[in-house]
Structure formats: structure tokens, C-alpha cells
Amino acid sequence: MRARSIESVTASSPAHKPEMTIKQSLIDKLHDRSAVIGIVGLGYVGLPLCVRCIEVGYQVIGFDTDPRKVSALLENQKYIEHIDIETLSPAGKSFQPTTDFSRSAATDVIVLCVPTPLNSHRQPDLSYVIGSVEAIAPYLHQGQVVSLESTTYPGTTEEEVRPRLENRGLKCGDEFYLVYSPEREDPANPAFTTQTIPKIVGGSSPACLEVGQAFYQSIVETVVPASSTQTAEMAKILENTYRAVNVALVNELKLVADAMDIDIFEVIRVAATKPFGFKAFYPGPGLGGHCIPIDPFYLTWKARTYNVATKFIELAGEINTQMPDYVVSKVITALNDRKQATRGAKVLVLGVAYKKNVDDVRESPSLVIIEKLLALGADVAYSDPHVPHISKMRKHNLAMTSTPLSAKRIAATDCVLIATDHDGFDWTMIASHAPLIVDSRGVYPSGSANLYRA
């Protein structure tokens, strides 16, 4: 069945409808794709979700507080490199971006895909979640389902989201529905898409779970039900804490291997030949991205409210946080071995995105490394084919432009620091002309006189 145009949707629904009728009516709309989907937060999570919902036949309204994003989408301009926004063209009538949250009244499903950062005290900052909930709450209506996808501590959906929605006067599980379904995006990874990544869904009630499953089953191949929103929230924290702890372990082993003059990347390569009981994790200059460096601290904060210590997680965070300092120390050592001071040295940082082949610099350790080198008096430039400019951010006040790479540019540096191993770099050219390389990603095999592992 063809989806309705957004303009034809009204928020009206008969008062005092029996719960089963309300629920079944919404499920029917999801089955025939006549439901209108509202997605709050048009970033790395929200935009791919918009694309997928349109692909399966839904009408979508995209909400964001940033008018620049809305304007870019209205003009069919990309602001996230790897996301194809062709299907989001407003000319197609299936997608309408807006900053007007009153239009959430015209939706049947509202999905919250907003940031959950840490504050300056490394405590959860739920201001984006709470702000989004309070923006849509006045327009909540019968037969609507709200899904929170932002990574957060167990209990957020029930303790922070549900009460604010129920203040509208509607009863959760009877008149509207609430679920938690954590995002699992892996930006720029073609092997896993919004459609193919299994989706966990936990509901505030059995009816909420049923509705949540009906929605997500319409856009993804596999839905994994959880017994509660808290279980789903905890599962997401577990996924990211697992990665953070294992990266911390291999980062610490890198320090040990370096002291013993052993190539940790070779160690991992040969260890990974074991067909069972081992999963390869790789060291780097520190953790980046919006999830792995942040999410474990949401759990440690919540655990403290139960008087439970999370020493293992906090130690892992400490190790990962110290890695930029280790990389900077290796730059200092490498220059010192060449009888050159760090102050005044020309250092070219390759890659400022937090991982290869993306344009995302959130929590990137490269930014910390640049700031520390600048503080030491180094003459720092960077090159990144995915990040042409670094703008002022919440934690960083850098204003830099990417330097084009050439043999002449490489040869003119005192030290090339590999911070992100983008496939777009010409590694052969770099190795041929760099007078000194500090490699934090294991791009080059050890043994070269001008190569330092970091």
C-alpha cells in the first residue's frame, strides 16, 4: 500500500479507544507503511535511519535543532561524507527536514537519535535526550510510539523519558508506547548497514515491546527482543565496554612490547591465527568516536548510585585516556634521537578522524595529540582527505585546514605522525620521502631506521 503524504496526516484519534484497538491500529499502519516516522537528530545515526525508512516506503519527518543541517538537507547537500542522501531529497516528497518540533504531532513513530556526551566531570549529560523529550511531549498523542536509540545508562528510559511523556496525561502501554532500541551503526563499514545489523528492542510493557518490534521488523532483517528497556540499555553499554576494555588491554600490552623491543602488531597478527578463544583488538593513539570512550562511564556513574565499584572499567578508561600522552612522548623521543627539539619542529599529523575512512572527529585522540604538540611549541599541520577543516568544538578550540600531501611536503617535515590510517593515503610515497615517521597504527613493518612505533 502506498504511504500517505505527510501533508495529509493529522494527529487526531478517537478519544477513549480501547487499548487493543489503539495498539492494533498502529501495528496495522506499520505493516502497510502508512505510518509517518519522525526521527529526532539528523546525524550519524539519524540520517541512515531516515534513508532506511524511506527505502521501505515510509514518509519521514526529520527533526534537528541545528538549522544548518536542515538547510543543507533542503538543498540536497551532504554534511556527513559516507551517507548517501539522494533518497532524502525533499523533492521526492517522502522526506521533510525541519526544526519545528510541533510537527511531531503528525507522526506515528518518534525515534530519538541524539548525543549522550559526558560533562566536564565525566558524568552523563542527558540534556539532549531530555530536551528532545520535552520538545515532543506537548504533541504526544494516542497511538504513537516513542523509541530512544541514544546510548545511555540502564534506567534512563523509565526514569527520565517515561515520566516526562506521561505528564502529557496519556498512559504508557495503553495510549502511547515507549521502547528503547540502541543504535548499532558502524560508520563507513559496507559490510554492516542499518538494514542488516540486528536490532535490540526493549519495551516499557509487553504492549510497548509488541509495537516496537512491529516498527523495527519493518526496516531491519533481525529484531532481538529484550525483556525490558533496562536490559536493552545494559546490553548496549556491555557491547561498548567490552570493546573499550579490550582496547585498553592491548594498548597496555603495546607499552610492554615496546619496552621489550617487540612489534605488538606482529604479535597480534600471529596470535590471531588461533581459530578459537581469541579475538584480535588493535592498539592505537587512544579511543575516539562518540561511543567507546564515553559509554562505559555512563555505567560507572550509575553503578555508584548502587554503591558498586567498577574498578576494571575505570582502569581501562584511564589507560585509553593516557595513550595520546604516550604518542606525544614517542614524537619527542624520535626527534630527540635526531638531536632536534620538539619546539619549532615541523610535525605533520596524518589523519584527525577517530578511525579510518570516515570524517568523524568526535572524541578523536588526534585532536588531543595536536593540542599537546602545539603546547610544546611544535609547528603542527595535519592532512586528512576526509576532514578538510577542523572547527571549534565543545572540548577543542582548534581552527586548522588540511594540508595537501605531496612528496615535497612530506620531505619538508621533521616528523610525520600517523594517527589515522586512511586508505586514501599514499603510504609508499610517504615512506619514500618522510625523514622521520612515528607510527601509532602499525602501517609499516618494524625495522626501518626512520620508523618509531607509538
Q: Which residues contact 403 (CB under 8 A, 6 or more apart)?
A: 348, 381, 382, 383, 409
pLDDT tens digits for 256-272? 999 999 999 999 999 99
Task: Name the residues annotated as catalytic.
Answer: 291
pLDDT tens digits for 305-345? 999 999 999 999 999 999 999 999 999 999 999 999 999 99
| Category of 117 on φ-ψ map: left (φ > 0), alpha (ψ -120 to 50) or beta | beta
Domain boundaries, the chain: 6-227, 242-453
pLDDT band, very low/low/confident/very high, at 91 (cuts 50, 70, 90): low
Strands 389-390 and 400-401: antiparallel
Q: Which three cell numbers stand for residue 35?
A: 505510518
The CATH class for the domain spanning 242-453 reads alpha beta
Q: How far apart are CA 106 and CA 144, in angstroms?
A: 10
Q: Please state, for a pLDDT cut of 90, what percent of the chain lies above it.
A: 85
pLDDT tens digits for 412-451? 999 999 999 999 999 999 999 999 999 999 999 988 889 9
CB 103 within 8 A of CB 68: no
pTM for the structure as a whole: 0.90
Homologous superfamily (CATH) of 6-227 is NAD(P)-binding Rossmann-like Domain (3.40.50.720)
Count the Cβ atoms, other than its own, within 10 Å of residue 218: 20
| Buried/exposed code over 365-375 (b: 16+ C-beta within 10 A; e: otherwise) | bbbbbbbbbee
